């Protein structure tokens, strides 16, 4: 293949390079994959309304999340099993993230332990920003121990995933009889967990009884800010605020859980409206492949976006350097979009820069032309 020039090219390369079942693990969605497709397609339902005659000589991508400065609003989403893409797994990914000055969110089910990942990040940049994604275990002692380790290691926020009371059905995986290979281990679990076979443990100890009271419990055992991940409704966003969340990630788990749920970008405006007037920050993931997608999400009110699958594809392409290339490409794309749209900084990307794409025939019938 020729040199990748966009994020879709990295996906095509990963499809060729990775073992088919391993690639399938990352690329598949739930059931008929309607939501998986909608996550990308929904961005095409928005148009960008550019300003002209603006001095765009200097473009600034820097921003902050939960008071922590980052050089770009494009962060790395929590994904499990990076070792399926590259032997260095999350170590390579976090080094690339630290080099780009952005936030890396480590999955509970990472292959490298949180302490190892943090050590790799600080080698690159002692001030680099890492968050930790948490599933609440049925054994609360396991969760509490993990939170304590997270604090000690230096993570700056807990990202509580709330959309996985059970695993969604992924028919592609079922047809292939996919199982995690024996070399996969989950580095964040204590000995009694890491000794289990990977397929027995992966996702099976997540507590299906999780409810909003557990956010209060989590806040009682840590002073780290809590970000709730997996919210798609305004009323749930309001409850997250009510129970003390400092951030919300609008997410449908990459279309891997409930099929026919809204695309993340479709749900974003409702969440933004629900938290209006509060200090709660809103982020979004799912379907982002272009700088223009990032621009649209920021214009709708997201503070930052989180990138999942493309990071894995970059990792498969060339390890740490591949992830750096993916981050460089989409940040370059965002810079180009901002330049052409007439925006010089992230805080100047406002709601009036985007509008719904209305088909010409509808506009004609409505007398808009």
| Nearest in space to 295 (alpha carbons), one of 247, 355, 229 | 355
Kind of pairing, strands 46-48 and 63-65? unpaired
Q: Is 285 annotated as a binding residue?
A: yes
Angle at 50 between CA 46 and CA 56, to 5 degrees: 135
Q: Is 277 annotated as a binding residue?
A: no
Q: Is 133 annotated as a binding residue?
A: yes
Q: Is 219 annotated as a binding residue?
A: no
E strands present in the chain: 46-48, 63-65, 68-70, 74-76, 103-106, 129-134, 158-161, 226-231, 247-250, 281-285, 304-307, 354-356
Q: Is 276 annotated as a binding residue?
A: no
What is the rounded distance in angstroms from the CA atom of residue 324 to the CA atom of residue 224? 28
Q: Is 287 annotated as a binding residue?
A: yes
Burial of 330 (0-12, 13-18, 19+ CB in 10 A): buried
Q: Is 76 annotated as a binding residue?
A: no
Q: Is 83 annotated as a binding residue?
A: no
Indicate if 253 belongs to the active site.
yes
Q: Report yes or no: 144 and 190 within 8 Å, Cβ to Cβ.
A: no
DSSP state of 60: B
Q: Is 350 annotated as a binding residue?
A: no
Catalytic residue (choose from 193, 253, 260, 290): 253
Q: Report yes or no: 231 and 264 within 8 Å, Cβ to Cβ.
A: no
Q: Is 348 annotated as a binding residue?
A: no
Q: Is 256 annotated as a binding residue?
A: yes
Q: Is 234 annotated as a binding residue?
A: no
The DSSP annotation for 286-314 comes to SS--SHHHHHHHHHTT-SEEEE-HHHHHH
Angle formed by the axes of helices 264-274 and 291-299, nearest 10°: 30
Bind-site residues? 107, 133, 135, 161, 170, 229, 251, 253, 256, 285-289, 308-309
Catalytic residues: 253
Annotated binding site for FMN: 107, 133, 161, 229, 251, 285-289, 308-309
Residues contributing to the annotated binding site for glyoxylate: 135, 170, 253, 256
């Amino acid at each position: 293949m020729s040199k990748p020039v966009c994020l879709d090219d990295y996906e095509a390369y990963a499809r060729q390079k990775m073992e088919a079942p391993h690639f399938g693990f990352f690329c598949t969605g739930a059931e008929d994959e309607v939501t998986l497709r909608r996550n990308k397609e929904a961005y095409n339902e928005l148009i960008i309304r550019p300003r002209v005659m603006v001095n765009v000589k200097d473009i600034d991508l820097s921003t902050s999340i939960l008071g922590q400065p980052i050089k770009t609003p494009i962060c790395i989403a929590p994904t499990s099993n990076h070792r399926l893409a590259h032997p260095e797994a999350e170590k390579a990914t976090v080094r690339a993230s630290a080099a780009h000055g952005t936030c890396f969110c480590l999955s509970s089910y990472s292959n490298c332990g949180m302490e190892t990942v943090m050590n790799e990040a600080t080698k690159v940049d002692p001030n680099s920003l890492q968050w930790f994604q948490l599933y609440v275990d049925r054994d609360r002692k396991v969760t509490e121990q993990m939170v304590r380790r997270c604090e000690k290691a230096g993570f700056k926020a807990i990202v509580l995933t709330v959309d996985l009371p059970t695993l969604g059905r992924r028919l592609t995986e079922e047809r292939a009889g996919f199982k995690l290979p024996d070399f996969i281990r989950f580095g964040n679990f204590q000995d009694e967990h890491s000794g289990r076979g990977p397929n027995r443990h992966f996702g099976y100890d997540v507590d299906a009884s999780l409810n909003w009271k557990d956010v209060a419990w989590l806040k009682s055992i840590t002073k780290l800010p809590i970000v709730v991940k997996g919210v798609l409704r305004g009323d749930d966003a309001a409850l997250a605020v009510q129970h003390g969340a400092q951030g919300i990630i609008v997410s449908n788990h990459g279309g891997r859980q409930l099929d026919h749920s809204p695309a993340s970008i479709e749900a974003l405006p409702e969440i933004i409206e629900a938290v209006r007037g509060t200090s709660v920050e809103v982020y979004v993931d799912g379907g982002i492949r272009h700088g223009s997608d990032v621009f649209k999400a920021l214009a709708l009110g997201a503070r930052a976006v989180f990138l999942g699958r493309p990071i894995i594809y970059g990792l498969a392409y060339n390890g740490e350097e591949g992830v750096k290339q993916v981050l460089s490409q989409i940040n370059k794309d965002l810079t180009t979009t901002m330049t052409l749209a007439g925006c010089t900084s992230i805080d100047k990307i406002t709601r009036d820069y985007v509008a719904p794409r209305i088909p010409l025939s509808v506009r004609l019938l409505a007398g808009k032309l």
